[in-house]
């Protein structure tokens, strides 16, 4: 028996699902969001103290989208009455060759930056120990997002606008029908005119039912928090957020945050955790990964110390080219497919919510999302 009707059902209550529900409700749509755990749970990809925001990308379209997202984060702060985004100075560190593509895009898009050599970085920020070939781009327009509070804010605003958010109810099947969809959970069946799938690392099982086999992989990533001996010197304004573009890697970074929304300095080495099955319930910390992060920290931040006061895991759902997926199902236009992460989607969340709402309601959006199509070459080749 069908329990509920809605204009649009959103599957998944992470940051993307919550922001989509918020945007749909703002557009006077009847929204039902289904989350298998609770809003703010630690089983997926959206939890934690912080995420970074940046305009620094190697593609012009990403920079353009980031600029729009920045305005929307500020609008969210006004709407929610919360301070969710803290501007911070930052460094992109690497060899001149590794940073060359980033430099080209920053110059082409007019993003302000200052090129610093190794000596100047270490003079301004004595926290670092860098090799002679390293340099950096110093920028003042990075920011830190209070991740847990951002998700809560989206959910609260969506509820305030009339969206229904159902927690503790896992979706088992999505079935296109004439005029819409039926979504079956362990507790009942819901009907709607359309559905937005934001299921994170659980996406693949739902898409297989709809005839799509996407080449998605899931990594269990690790975040570590250090308690330095002198916390004041690691606060925003004294210690910069940084991305260290690592030699011999393809788009992978060591990343460090000043103290923000947590007692410790956040540090991770991006995309180095083990691959896991999407339904693997294990969220325990892999000490071998933590040891590698500790070794990296000792090399680049020798005065930080090794007092790890907390380590967490989260899920990265990766596409072959690390780009997002934001598109309509090719056979069922009432189904919107969103796999917007590969470890770097959070910063775009309010804009992604608007894009997904556009796709669900009108089947199109004014924003430039051509890069994120389901039928792009990298997806087709990997699927084949």
Tokens linked to 328: 């309509």
Collapsing DSSP to helix, strand or coil, 173 comes out as strand
- State the chain's mean pLDDT as an integer: 95
* Span 123-133, pLDDT tens digits: 999 999 999 99
254 and 304 in contact (C-beta within 8 Å)? no
Q: What residues contact residue 160 under an 8 Å CB cut-off, 6+ apart?
A: none
- Which of the residue ranges 155-164, 242-251, 356-365 would you say has the lowest mean pLDDT? 242-251
User: What pLDDT is stored for residue 272 in this prediction?
Assistant: 86
How much is the average pLDDT of 86-110? 97
Q: Which residue has the tokens 């005119």?
A: 193
pLDDT-based confidence at 271, cuts 50/70/90?
Answer: confident
% of the chain exceeding 70 in pLDDT: 98
User: What pLDDT is stored for residue 157 in this prediction?
Assistant: 98
Q: What residues contact residue 127 under an 8 Å CB cut-off, 6+ apart?
A: 233, 234, 239, 301, 303, 304
Q: Which is more confident, 119 or 278?
A: 119
pLDDT-based confidence at 251, cuts 50/70/90?
Answer: low
Q: CA-CA distance, 117 to 95, in Å (whole number)? A: 10
At 89, phi and psi to the nearest 5? -75, 155
* Span 29-52, pLDDT tens digits: 999 999 999 999 999 999 999 999
Burial of 332 (0-12, 13-18, 19+ CB in 10 A): buried
329 and 212 in contact (C-beta within 8 Å)? yes
3-state secondary structure the chain: CEEEEEEEEEECCCHHHHHHHHHHHHCCCCEEEEECCCCCCCCCCCCCCEEEECCCCCCHHHHHHHHHHHHHHHHHHHHHCCCCEEEEEEEEEECHHHHHHHHHHHHHHCCCCEEEEHHHHHHHCCCCCCCCCCEEEEEEEEEEEEHHHHHHHHHHHHHHCCCEEEECCCEEEEEEECCEEEEEECCCEEEEEEEEECCHHHHHHHHHHCCCCCCCEEEEEEEEEECCCCHHHHCCCCCCEEEEECCCCCCCEEEEECCCCCCCEEEEECCCCCEECCCCCCCCCCHHHHHHHHHHHHHHCCCCCCCEEEEEEEEEEECCCCCCEEEECCCCCCEEEEECCCCCCHHHHHHHHHHHHHHHHHCCCCCCCHHHCCCCHHHHHHHC
User: What pLDDT is stored for residue 334 in this prediction?
Assistant: 98
- In order of start, what are the domains of the chain with their CATH numbers? 2-45+149-216+321-383 (3.50.50.60), 87-142+218-316 (3.30.9.10)
Tokens linked to 144: 């830190």
pLDDT-based confidence at 201, cuts 50/70/90?
Answer: very high
* Span 309-363, pLDDT tens digits: 999 999 999 999 999 999 999 999 999 999 988 889 999 999 999 999 999 999 9
Q: CA-CA distance, 158 to 46, in Å (whole number)? A: 17
User: What pLDDT is stored for residue 337 in this prediction?
Assistant: 98
- Picking from 192, 277, 282, 272, the residue whose alpha carbon sits closest to that of residue 224 is 272
Q: Which is more confident, 285 or 250?
A: 285
């Amino acid at each position: 028996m069908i329990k509920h009707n809605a204009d649009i059902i959103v599957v998944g209550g992470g940051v993307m699902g919550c922001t989509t529900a918020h945007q749909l409700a703002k557009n006077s749509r009847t929204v039902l969001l289904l989350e298998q755990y609770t809003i703010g749970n630690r089983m997926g990809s959206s939890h934690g103290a912080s995420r970074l925001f940046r305009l620094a990308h190697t593609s012009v379209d990403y920079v353009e989208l980031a600029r729009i997202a920045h305005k929307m984060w500020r609008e969210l702060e006004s709407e929610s009455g919360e301070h969710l985004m803290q501007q911070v100075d930052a460094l992109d560190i690497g060899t001149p060759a590794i940073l060359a593509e980033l430099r080209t895009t920053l110059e082409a898009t007019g993003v302000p930056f200052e090129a610093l050599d190794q000596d100047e970085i270490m003079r301004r920020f004595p926290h670092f120990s860098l090799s002679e070939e390293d340099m950096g781009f110093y920028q003042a327009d990075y920011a830190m997002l209070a991740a847990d509070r951002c998700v809560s804010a989206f959910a609260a605003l969506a509820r305030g606008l009339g969206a229904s958010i159902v927690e503790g109810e896992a979706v088992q099947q999505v079935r296109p029908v004439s005029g819409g969809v039926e979504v079956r959970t362990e507790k009942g069946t819901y009907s709607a005119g359309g559905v937005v799938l934001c299921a994170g690392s659980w996406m693949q099982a739902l898409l297989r039912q709809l005839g799509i086999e996407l080449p998605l992989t899931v990594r269990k990533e690790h975040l570590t928090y250090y308690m330095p001996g002198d916390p004041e010197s690691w606060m925003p304004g004294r210690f910069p957020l940084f991305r260290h573009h690592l030699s011999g890697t393809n788009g992978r970074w060591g990343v460090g945050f000043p103290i923000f929304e947590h007692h410790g300095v956040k540090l991770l080495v991006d995309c180095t955790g083990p691959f896991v099955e999407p339904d693997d319930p294990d969220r325990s910390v892999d000490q071998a990964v933590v040891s590698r992060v500790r070794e990296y920290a000792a090399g680049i931040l020798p005065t930080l110390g090794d007092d790890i006061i907390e380590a967490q895991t989260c899920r990265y759902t990766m596409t072959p080219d690390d780009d997002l997926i934001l598109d309509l199902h090719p056979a069922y236009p009432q189904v919107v497919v969103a796999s917007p992460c590969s470890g770097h989607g959070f910063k775009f969340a309010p804009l992604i919510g608007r894009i997904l709402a556009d796709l669900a309601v009108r089947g199109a959006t004014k924003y430039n999302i051509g890069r994120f199509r389901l039928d792009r070459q990298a997806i087709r080749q990997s699927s084949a």
